[in-house]
Structures are given as structure tokens and as C-alpha cells.
Chains A and B, each alone.
Chain A
């Protein structure tokens, strides 16, 4: 293993174009945009289908179809249709992001305890309140796992942006292969892998923070621990 490219301080210079931090930033930019657009499209649809139970075949089939589309092929098709630029890359990555979020939103809503929803209705909550204050918070753990799944996939796949002249960490892979610089390819692979792990850990923390303690089992565990000490 040749880590010389990764360890060379010159490649970590913040201001130099094409340096590791700059590629990392642009890579994160594609990932964030794709996740944002994907969530904005998939979350409402998934929640609606889960809440009403109507159109669940859309969620299932869109999920399966979306997963089986090869991103690189879709990207090349989009570039042929739309020309070069950020749009074709974002379309290809968004198509990758939608299925896990859509299916997890739907699945999270469908697997809720029906008695809890009945109880919420019995307390006089309106449908909108049932959705936002009971169903959505309770579906969050499953939803977040779908979101983390989407984030992991898109971090790894955003490397295809470099195949159509954009930046991102894929530049290291594609340029490295083009000039037989395997140290650079290795650097790209390592940084993408580390980024994927770091991002997943980050979203795990976010999940811990936004999921109600009553759902995560932490409160019960804490209560048990307190009882055990007294």
C-alpha cells in the first residue's frame, strides 16, 4: 500500500484547487444536495402513503425500480439528454436517494401500534395532529435508518460526478487511473470510506437527538439502572 498521495501535506492545502479538502467539500455538496432534494420529494409521499394506506404499491414498486437503476448508466443518459453540468448528476443521485427514504417512511408509518393512534384520536386529536405529533415521531427510528442508508449509498456513488467533468472525491479515482497513479486512487478510496463512516456516525447522533427518549428505550434502561443502584 502506497499512502504517499494521502500523506503529502501539499495535497491538504485548503486553497489549492483540486486539493483533498476542496474535493471533500464539493463531494459533500453533491451528497447534501441529493439528500435534500430526495428527502423533499420522498418524505411527504412516503408519509402520505403510510398515513392513508393508499398507493402503497407505488412505494414498493418505486422503491424496487429505483434501486435497480444503475447510477452511472442513468448519469450518462442524463448527460446525453441535458448536456454537462450539475443537473444530470443531481438527478442520477436523487433517484438513488428516493427509494430508501420513501420505503422507510412508508414502512415506519405502517408498522405503528394501531392502538396508540386510536388513543390519540380518542383524545380528540385532529388527523394532522395525529400525523405530526404521534405517527411521525414514532416512525422516526425506521425513517432515520432509511435516511442513513440513503446517505451511505450516495456518499459512495457521488464519485460518478467526476466521470462527467465535475469534482468530488471521484476525481482522485478517475484521474489516478488515467495517469496510473495508484497512490491517488487509494487516497480517494480511503477518504470516501472514512467519509461514509463519519457521516453515518453523525446521523446516528442526530437520530439519538431527535428520536423521543420514550421510543428509543433509553428511558427504560436508565430507570432500570436507577432502580438497581438504589
Chain B
């Protein structure tokens, strides 16, 4: 797909070059149509995973319904890449996660002890890249959870991470390999909850490997993301995190200051007001499980929420 896209871009480039050559010496070769209109159009970007793309499409359609001109530049890549694209102005707007963004921007990662949604939001304001602002954050969170199967929960009487303390010595935990070393992983579990597991199996970050291992009983406790439809499909029990070890990961729009205006922020804040972890999970499952088109699902979300 990216090959097709870049081939298309190359073709456009050649056509543009030919067209410009035909224009003659009096026109500025560096000035093209898209350049002059981009001052009013908002370019929406996204990271390279389904949830980010769905959120970006929701933002884009919400803006379009308010007659804002929108360009889409989805599926950019990891945070390092799309933050650069945001700073150099190739994109204007992105869906972000407050905790993950804070960890990426603050030197040395997110400060310990900052984990509730409001604390994270406040800490984030101090480290935002130049010329960018965050709009209102939504209640929807895609965050790390410790999840167990219904059977394990019943057997050991588990509802919260605190309940693990007594039985963790018999249990195996599976998560992304980075859990062995970062604070929002095994270290924090030990420091905050006094929980030490019998064994740690480095698997994938909330992916199919972890979910399958959990369902098969190869691991007893797994790191699954809170908007993963696998939680509902497999009837997993998400353990509560009463001491807020895991960073809040509220979804919020990150936007370049020059692209922000009352119409734009009004439309995006209205989206944030309607987003919840539960409805995001449902709509994301329509993309990931039912394989529906992102644009269709985004439109359904906006229509169902009464936003368009």
C-alpha cells in the first residue's frame, strides 16, 4: 500500500514538475496550489495502528462536518516519526494518549507518582513541543492493565492488583519485554503493591501472543490494553489499579497552535466529550474483528453520538 502511495506521489511529482515547467519563467516554481490552501486546511495524521487511525478519521469527519477543510495523512509510524511530522508542519493534528506522550516527551520518562488523568494532563502541559497545544482530554483510556481469566479470578478471589500480593508467588506474568525494566512494569508492581511473581515471560505488548497465552493458561496474569476487544471476547477480568500505578492514557487531540481556532477546538472537544473506553472498544472491534472500513465506523460513531 505504501509502495502504491509513494508511486502515486512520484507520479504526482512528475506531473507537477511538467506543469510547472510549462508555466514559464514568471511563476514561482516553489509555489503550488496545495501550498497556498494549506493555511486553511487542517492535515490530520495518525500513528500506524488501527485505533489511532480510527480516532484520526473521527477527528477528520468531525471537522469536515463543521466545514473545515481536512487533509488526511494517516499511518505515519511510531511516535518518534509523527511528532517530527507535527513539528515540521507536515501534519497539524493527531490523536494522542496523555500518559504515553508524557513518557516520550519528559526526559527520563514520566515522573514517578504522576499517574492520575488530571496529574498527567498537568505534567504534559510543561513538556509539550513548541507551537503545539492539547485540547480537552476524553474519558476514553487505552492503558496497560493486568488481566486474568475468569477461572483464575474465581480461584484466587482476585478483583484488584492488591489481591495478587498473597498469591503472586505461584503465578506467571506475561507482558512486553520492556516490563522487566520499566517502572510501570514489574518494578512498580513490587514497589507500589509488593507483588512479586514466580516468573516473568517476555511476550508482546498487549498483543495476540499475550492474550492467547493467557487463555491457554501458559501465563496466569497478562498485560492487555484496556480497549482490546479480546477482554470482552474472552471474558477476561481486568484487575483494578487502586494506587494508580499505570499511567492514565486518556485520548486527546494534539494540535499545532496555528491550526487551532474556536471552530476546530469546538468540534474536537465535542468528540472528546463523547468518547469513553467502552464505546471506543466497541467501535474499534468493528474495525479489528468485523473488518469494517475505518471511515464507515468513524461515521457511525459520530452519527450514534449525535455529533453529525
Would you call B202 and A79 a contact (CB within 8 A)? no
Q: How far is the CB of B39 from chain A (nearest CB, A)?
A: 36
Q: Mark B164-208, 1 if CB is under 8 A from A, else 0.
A: 000000000010111011100000000000000000011111000
- How many residue pairs, one in A and one in B, have C-beta atoms under 8 Å apart? 44
Query: A85 an interface residue at 8 Å Cβ cutoff?
Result: yes
- Return chain B residues, CB-CB under 8 Å to A76: 209
Knowing A83-B213, A179-B181 are in contact, say whether A171-B218 is a contact too (CB < 8 A).
no
Q: How far is the CB of B284 from chain A (nearest CB, A)?
A: 22
Q: How far is the CB of A133 from chain B (nearest CB, A)?
A: 49
- Return chain A residues, CB-CB under 8 Å to B205: 178
Would you call A84 and B178 a contact (CB within 8 A)? no
- Return chain A residues, CB-CB under 8 Å to B212: 79-80, 83
Would you call A179 and B218 a contact (CB within 8 A)? no
Query: B216 an interface residue at 8 Å Cβ cutoff?
Result: yes
Query: A162 an interface residue at 8 Å Cβ cutoff?
Result: yes
Q: Which residue of B lies closest to A82 (CB)?
A: B216
Knowing A79-B212, A164-B209 are in contact, say whether A84-B177 is a contact too (CB < 8 A).
no
How many residues on the A side are at the interface (Cβ–Cβ under 8 A)? 15
Alpha-carbon gap, A163 to B203, bound state (A): 6
Q: Mark A158-185, 1 if CB is under 8 A from B, else 0.
A: 0000111100000100110011000000
Q: How far is the CB of A158 from chain B (nearest CB, A)?
A: 16
- Return chain A residues, CB-CB under 8 Å to B219: 84
Alpha-carbon gap, A79 to B213, bound state (A): 9
Interface residue from B176, B180, B203, B217 paired with A164 (Cβ < 8 Å) = B203
Q: How far is the CB of B186 from chain A (nearest CB, A)?
A: 13
- Return chain A residues, CB-CB under 8 Å to B182: 179
- Return chain A residues, CB-CB under 8 Å to B216: 83-84
Knowing A79-B212, A83-B216, A84-B218 are in contact, say whether A165-B178 is a contact too (CB < 8 A).
no
Would you call B218 and A175 a contact (CB within 8 A)? no
Would you call A165 and B202 a contact (CB within 8 A)? yes
Alpha-carbon gap, A85 to B209, bound state (A): 12
- Return chain A residues, CB-CB under 8 Å to B213: 83-84, 165
Q: How far is the CB of A18 from chain B (nearest CB, A)?
A: 8
Show the binding face of B for A, using Cβ within 8 Å.
174, 176-178, 180-182, 201-205, 209, 212-213, 216-219
Given contacts A163-B204, A179-B181, 13 further A-B contacts (CB under 8 A): A76-B209, A79-B212, A80-B212, A83-B212, A83-B216, A83-B218, A85-B218, A171-B202, A175-B177, A175-B178, A175-B181, A175-B202, A179-B177
Pull 27 A–B residue pairs with CB atoms less than 8 Å apart, ordered by A: A79-B209, A79-B212, A80-B212, A83-B212, A83-B213, A83-B217, A83-B218, A84-B201, A84-B203, A84-B213, A84-B216, A84-B218, A164-B203, A165-B174, A165-B201, A165-B202, A165-B209, A171-B177, A174-B202, A175-B180, A175-B181, A178-B176, A178-B177, A179-B177, A179-B178, A179-B181, A179-B182
- 6 nearest A-B pairs in the assembled complex, by CB-CB distance: A165-B201, A178-B178, A84-B218, A178-B177, A175-B177, A83-B216
